[in-house]
A and B are shown apart, each in its own frame.
With several copies, the nearest count.
Chain A
Amino acid sequence: MKLVINDHRCKGCNMCTKVCPYGIFQEGARPGARGYIIPVLDHPERCTNCRLQKFYGRQLCGMCQTTCPDQAISWIDEQPFEPHKVVIEY
């Protein structure tokens, strides 16, 4: 599972940076598509949900998602192997 922020929804309120027990959300610096400054993710693989959701078959923490006022946080399935794929662009 992979934690993602939908940058068409996120309004940069930084509420997620407050509530994640692992400090995975960090205040961002650059405006996204709609002009809001979107947080950046710091080692999201530490997230309980990312690690264990599949394993336990249910959501395990979700504080960020429940708190996010803009319904911008979710988890997507990681493509098999995708994380390992290295794309070299010239």
Chain B
Amino acid sequence: MKTEIRFSGLGGQGIITAAVILGRAAALYSKKHVVQTQSYGPEARGGASASAVIISDDPVYYPNVTNPSVYVIMSQEAYNKYGNNAPEDALMLLDPGFVTSRPVCRCFEVPATSEAKSQLGKTVFANVIMLGALLEATGIVTYDALEHAVLDSVPKGTETNNKRALAIGQELVRSQL
């Protein structure tokens, strides 16, 4: 089994961090083979941001994502670049506060940014909300694995809010199932 997940959005939304946390959860706490990559570009300082995670039962040699089956999209620009071509059998999570288009594939609208702001007071939790949603939608890792990885990665003192963020994300998807 091999799953390719693409995260995309704007700089500052925590896109890369989300991908790294997921990768970490799968690699360290789920004994999967994982490669996480991201795109850099001096041409777009503070602009677009994208990252990909490949999670597999077998070793992952070729590290480039060829056809992701899961998309997490947090800006319209990113949607235009990646989401537009998502195949019908893919799964997409998008933040409807930023993305107005809708794909042909199965799609969850996860208003992560606005929920983060309203429920947790800060938009920085949006990416972890997205991870909670992703967990619920895919079950790609266990909850424990993901929580572990989140707690490894976030600043001291924000643990509770991050756990709440995970739950909020899960709930946002669960309600759409």
Interface residues of A (CB under 8 A from B): 34-35
B 32-76 to A, binary, CB cutoff 8 A, 1 in contact else 0:
000000000000000000000000000000000000000000011
The 5 closest A-B pairs by CB, nearest first: A35-B10, A35-B75, A35-B98, A35-B77, A35-B76
CB of B44 to closest CB in A, whole Å: 12
Q: Across the two chains, which residue of chain A brings its CB closest to B75?
A: A35
Show the binding face of B for A, using Cβ within 8 Å: 10, 75-77, 98
List 6 interface pairs A-B (beta carbons < 8 Å), by A numbering: A34-B77, A35-B10, A35-B75, A35-B76, A35-B77, A35-B98
A34 to B44, CA, bound (A): 13
Tell me which residues across on chain A come within 8 A of B10, comparing CB atoms: 35
Query: Interface on chain A toward B: helix, strand, loop, or mixed SS?
Result: loop
Chain B residues near A34 (CB-CB < 8 A) = 77
CB-defined contacts of B75 to chain A, threshold 8 Å: 35
State in angstroms the CA–CA spacing of A34 and B76 once bound together.
Answer: 9
For B10, the closest partner residue in chain A by CB is A35
Q: How many angstroms from the CA of A34 to the CA of B47 in the assembled complex? A: 10
Closest partner residue, chain A, to B46 (CB atom): A11
CA distance A35 to B76 in the complex (A): 9
CA distance A35 to B10 in the complex (A): 9
Bound form: Cα–Cα A79–B151 in Å = 59
A34 to B77, CA, bound (A): 8
How far apart sit A41 and B98, CA to CA, in the bound complex (Å)? 25
Measured in the bound complex, the distance between the Cα atoms of B75 and A35 in whole Å is 8
How near does chain A come to B96, taking the closest CB pair, in angstroms?
14
**CB nearest neighbor in A for B97:** A31
Residues of A within 8 A of B98 (CB): 35
Q: Which residue of B lies closest to A31 (CB)?
A: B98
Q: How far is the CB of A70 from chain B (nearest CB, A)?
A: 12
Q: Which residues of B contact A35 (CB under 8 A)?
A: 10, 75-77, 98
Chain A neighbourhood of B77, CB < 8 A: 34-35
Minimum distance in angstroms from B117 CB to a CB of chain A: 14
